[in-house]
Structure 1
Amino acid sequence: MYELHFAVPMAGAIICALNSRLDAAMASDLLQHSEAKVVFIDAALLGVAQEALHLMSVAGARAPVVVLIRGEVSTSSTTQHDYEDIVSRGGSPEFAVQLPADENEPIALSFTSGTTSRPKGVIYSHRGAYLNSLFSVLLNEMASKPVYLWTVPMFHCNGWCMTWGVAAQGGTNVFLRKVTGAAIFDAICRHGVTHMGGVATVLSMIVNTAPEDRRPLPAGKVSVVTGGAPPPPTVLSGMDELGFLVIHTYGLTETYGAATVCAWMPEWDALPAEEQAEIKARQGLQHLGLEVDVKDPATMRSIPADGKTVGEVMLRGNTVMSGYYKDAPATAKAMAGGWFRSADLAVRNPGDGYLKFQDRSQDVIISGGGEKISTIQVEEALFAHPAVAEAAVVGRPDEHSGETPCAFVVLRRKREVEAEEVMEFCKKKLPRYKAPSTVVVVDELPKTATGKVQKLLLREKARAMGSLSDPPPSPVLEEEHEEAPNKV
């Protein structure tokens, strides 16, 4: 995958890295939508790929040329081409790199994660990818010859453009087939990793790695750029104690990855650890490649930096997508008013103007009294409980209160807790109407391949529970937890 991030553009083609967790039906759909002429298949995913190609044939779509990447997996399957065989033949010394005639020509087609709708094909330009690669190096505070550990999938925003950024600094890449806490510690120790990236769930995985699976880190802190859902302050504190320097960013597929960074101020070093973690949880300020504002979506006026007024995060500039592939209506809607509308809600902190994410617009819970409840705020309270390893909050219908917060939690190893205790704990940290009224213990939260929690699935579960005001026939239970009984 890393090699192809260079070979494909050098051949004058467009790289479209597909999510490795797609099922055959979605893979077939996206292959047809992208009009791919060549498809490279990792042998470990051959079964899904063959079914996807069969579905394309049934639909009457033109079949792409197939290249099999055997890797460590042996297979007797015959394909049109074998990747290692092609590479072993060597290249032509006379080959001329196919540079774009216009820097705004597309270099990549990156599909969104599709957590709330069908994935959209986001078009990246050579100019945007080039600039964001350099800005990513700056965000990572990356000197020359770094050692970068990949836990960010390269199909997600082309690895947040670090595929090209690491190469720009003459770096070494360390890859993992399976991301686990033990594998991360082992790779850092064995290869002297200096930098890595990962969403909040990866950070939580690191913090909750069993002591026997941890390894001593190299001298100096390992820099970790995180994005996606805001990491809870408790996780940020835990990462700092382990020897990681966490750099918090915010971005979307439509912005090539990171668009803002919580730039650290020297005066914050003297603050208590808890306050430092809360500051690090902010999304910060725009990077050099684009402009970011928080606006009233109706009037398009910038909101005041008072820490209270909520607006929509909007972005424009060099590292905002060229548009959605073959979807002009969605492009026009997203770029209405000359700004990309993220659907993410935030406030601006007084004094420094730093963005603090509130919620996705579709995730906000509306109570019967019309109060808006940020699920992120509720999740932060849940994460503060010593027994909670992971948490996700969605709205549960309520006949009298409209919606009430419903929490799905994963417990730490060998911990047991009553749901009532968790709810009472949250009531001490939040206004009572914001505290979860339902707590469901699960073995794991449903996630996308990039580690984002699929709240759409959790909302369906919450709706299936029915109104909270209706007397349930029996306690609400999920499947039994391995280490502790589920108590709700």
Structure 2
Amino acid sequence: MYELHFGVPMAGAILCTLNIRHDASMLSILLKHSGAKVIFVDYQFLELAQEVLILISQTCTPPQLVLISELLQSSAPILSAQSEFPNYETLLREANPNFTVIWPIDECLPISINYTSGTTSRPKGVVYTHRGAFLNALVSVLMVEMGLMPVFLWTVPMFHCNGWCFTWGVAAQGGANVCIRNVTPEVIFESIAMHKVTHMGGAPTVLNMLIHTPREHRRTFQHKAHIIVGAAPPPTKVLFAIEEMGFSLTHSYGLTETYGPATVCAWKPDWDALPLEQRARLKSRQGLHHLGLAEVDVKDPVTMKSVPADGKSLGEVMFRGNTIMSGYYKNGKATQEALAGGWFRSGDLGVRHPDGYIELKDRSKDIIISGGENISTIEVESVLYAHNCVFEAAVVGRPDEHWGETPCAFVKLKEGFDATKEEIIAYCREKLPHYMVPKTVVFGDLLKTSTGKIQKFVLKERAKAMGSLTLQKKSKL
């Protein structure tokens, strides 16, 4: 996939990286929607790809499958089905080494289509341009102070925003890429120590895995590895713990529609003297827009006026500039809605602090309104993560006859730890205003998207199925 980030554009084509965790049905929908003519498939996904092609062939001509299987020859038996398809390595060996690169005649032409994770609806195809990808790739390097010849460990999926544009950024710095098939704490620690990894990235779930890795499975290394964290806002305790382990960390924020990283919590030197916990709270903010963007703002979505920079007034986070998508592929209506008023509307709610830094409070669809009070699920989750027994947590609104909604916490406990619902609620009461305290606590595993975000829409359905807490209490009386 890394090679294709260069080969496909050089052939004058458009790259469309697909999420390997989708099932055959979803992949067939995305392939048909994209209009792809060729699909490159790693040998591990051949069976899945064949299912996809069968589904597509029922309604239209499927794309040509090219199999990537050269690595198998020294490690496993060759799959019998390989002979049915052209082999990627063979195509490269037989190709003309002096081919002419097809340069784009306009830098605003598409370089790639990236499908959103589809956490709230069917995935949409976000169109990136050559100009936007170029700018975001260079800005990504600047944001994390990536020097020459870095060693980048791929814990960010390359199918997600083209690896946050680090696919191109690492190459610009003459870097080496360390690719792993399974993202586990043991493999991460082993890779950092063995290859002297300088940079890696990922969602807070990756950080959470690292800080909860048993000491016997960790590896020590003399250098300091730099982690770029994005996706869901990281809880303060997670940031605090990862720095205590000796990693340096940059907190970035963005969406598929902003080419990945769009803001960075730019660090001020005078913050170094602050206590670790206070530094972690400052670092958990989403910060300022990067150099490739024109502007980020927090606005009233109706009046489009900027909210006061008081750290309290809530508004929608909006962007404009060169590293904003050119639109959703074959979806003019959604494009117009997302870019209405000349700004990209993120759907994220946040505040702007007096120093200009923005801080997310919630997705507009996730905010809980209980008895007329707005409750930020991010704030409640941050408190839950600080509990010694909690490994992961997510908070959603549970419909309620009296309050409208009440906070419902879904919690996964650390292995070997135990806590009751009453203990979790009591802990939150010590840290939060009464109206923000979860009224319901459910223990169990939390389903995630391919990019490490907890699937809140699934949890919302579970909370909805529980019914009204107030009504249940009345019936018991």
The reply to whether TM is greater than 0.5 is yes
Aligned letter for 2:418?
E
Q: Which residue of the partner structure matches residue 93 of structure 1?
A: 97
Q: Which residue of the partner structure matches residue 61 of structure 1?
A: 60
Aligned letter for 2:312?
K
Q: Are the counterparts in 2 of residues 67 and 79 from structure 1 also a CA contact under 8 Å?
A: no
Q: Which residue of the partner structure matches residue 483 of structure 1?
A: none
Aligned letter for 2:85?
Q
Which of residues 289, 292, 309 in structure 1 aligns to 2:292? 289
Q: Does 1:324 align with 2:328?
A: yes
Q: Which residue of the partner structure matches residue 442 of structure 2?
A: 440
Which of residues 422, 425, 431 in structure 2 aligns to 1:423? 425
Superimposed CA distance per residue, residues 372-417 of structure 1 (whole angstroms, 9 cap, x where no aligned partner): 1110010011011111011111111122111111111111121001
Aligned letter for 2:91?
I
Q: Does 1:226 align with 2:229?
A: yes
CA distance in 1, matches of 2:289, 2:185: 31
Q: Are the counterparts in 2 of residues 123 and 323 from structure 1 also a CA contact under 8 Å?
A: yes
Aligned letter for 1:34?
S
CA distance in 2, matches of 1:471, 1:33: 46
Q: Does 1:374 align with 2:373?
A: no
After superposition, the CA RMSD in angstroms is 1.5
Q: Does 1:142 align with 2:146?
A: yes
Aligned letter for 2:462?
K
Aligned length: 469
Q: For residue 428 of structure 1, give the secondary structure of its aligned residue in structure 2.
A: helix
Residues 3-402 of structure 1: pairs in structure 2 closer than 5 A: 3-58=3-58, 60-70=59-69, 71-72=71-72, 74-77=78-81, 78-89=83-94, 91-219=95-223, 221-290=224-293, 291-350=295-354, 352-367=355-370, 369-402=371-404
Give the structure with the larger helix fraction: 2
Q: For residue 313 of structure 2, give the secondary structure of its aligned residue in structure 1.
A: coil
Aligned letter for 1:114?
G
Identical amino acids, percent of aligned pairs:
60
CA distance in 2, matches of 1:421, 1:66: 55
CA distance in 2, matches of 1:305, 1:100: 42
Q: Which residue of the partner structure matches residue 477 of structure 1?
A: none
Aligned letter for 2:391?
A
Gaps of 5+ in 2: none
Superimposed CA distance per residue, residues 122-180 of structure 1 (whole angstroms, 9 cap, x where no aligned partner): 00000000010000001121000000000000000000000000000000000110001
Moved more, 39-48 or 336-345: 39-48
TM-score (normalised: structure 1) = 0.94
Q: Are the counterparts in 2 of residues 217 and 243 from structure 1 also a CA contact under 8 Å?
A: no
Residue 200 of structure 1, CA deviation:
0.7
Q: For residue 413 of structure 1, give the secondary structure of its aligned residue in structure 2.
A: coil
Superimposed CA distance per residue, residues 82-136 of structure 1 (whole angstroms, 9 cap, x where no aligned partner): 11222233x4233111100000010000000111111000000000000100000
CA distance in 2, matches of 1:201, 1:165: 24
Gaps of 5+ in 1: 473-488
CA distance in 2, matches of 1:94, 1:196: 34
Q: Are the counterparts in 2 of residues 148 and 172 from structure 1 also a CA contact under 8 Å?
A: yes
Aligned letter for 2:230?
G
CA distance in 1, matches of 2:221, 2:240: 17
Q: Which residue of the partner structure matches residue 456 of structure 1?
A: 457
CA distance in 2, matches of 1:48, 1:364: 37
Structure 1's consecutive aligned runs of 4 or more residues displaced over 4 angstroms after TM superposition are none
CA distance in 1, matches of 2:136, 2:42: 28
TM-score (normalised: structure 2) = 0.96
Residue 43 of structure 1, CA deviation:
1.5
Superimposed CA distance per residue, residues 317-374 of structure 1 (whole angstroms, 9 cap, x where no aligned partner): 1000000000000000100000000010110112x1100100000000111x211111
CA distance in 2, matches of 1:441, 1:210: 22
